[in-house]
Each structure stands twice: as structure tokens, then as C-alpha cells.
Amino acid sequence: MVIEKKIYRVVYSKEKCISAFTCVAFYGDRWAINNDDNKADLIGGKEESPGIWTTEFTEDELELFYKSAEVCPVFAIEIYEKDSGKKIFPVE
């Protein structure tokens, strides 16, 4: 029997980014410094609309994505459960 892992979605507002790069410090495998615009890049992300980047990931990465979102001083990173659409971070 194959147990499917829960899927999450990260939504990153590049326009909100103030270049603190705390996300890069916490999860450098998925966040990088873009020297052209001095903003963070979401590695493996797609630009869904101007300035909004998204990607999906499994529960294996949840803790690292959560920590990278938590340390962002302007809350430019949001995390959702894919199936339910429930916002995981930031909690409102």
C-alpha cells in the first residue's frame, strides 16, 4: 500500500520582499539571492501572476518552508494545504 504524502503550496510575493534574505538563510535549497533585482528567488517556483511565485511541495519540506516563511519580516511567504486550501502560514 502506497501512502501519499500531503501536498502544500507556497505563495511568494516578490514585490513585498525587502531583501532581508532570512528565507535564504533558513532554506538555501529553495531560496536564492537574485543579484539582478536584489530580491529572493523561489527555486523551482513559477510566476503565476506578476510578482507572485508559487510551487508545491510535500510534508517532507514543510518545516523548512514554514521556518523560512516565519522569519520573513514582511510576511511575503504564505503556505497553504493544497487539497483544502487552508492557510497554514501566516495564521490569521
**What kind of fold does domain 7-89 have according to CATH?**
Alpha-Beta Plaits (3.30.70)
The C-alpha atoms of residue 30 and residue 41 are separated, in whole angstroms, by 8
Whole-angstrom CA distances from 29 to 24, 25, 61, 85 are 8, 10, 10, 25
Please report the pLDDT score of residue 3 as a whole number.
77
Where exactly are the structural domains of the chain?
Answer: 7-89
Please report the pLDDT score of residue 2 as a whole number.
74
- Number of helical H runs and strand E runs in the chain: 2, 7
b or e along 16-27 (b: 16 or more beta carbons within 10 Å of the residue's beta carbon)? ebeeebbbbebb
Q: Is the peptide bond before 90 cis (omega within 30 degrees of 0)?
A: yes
pLDDT tens, position by position, 16-61: 999 999 999 999 999 999 999 999 999 999 999 999 999 999 999 9
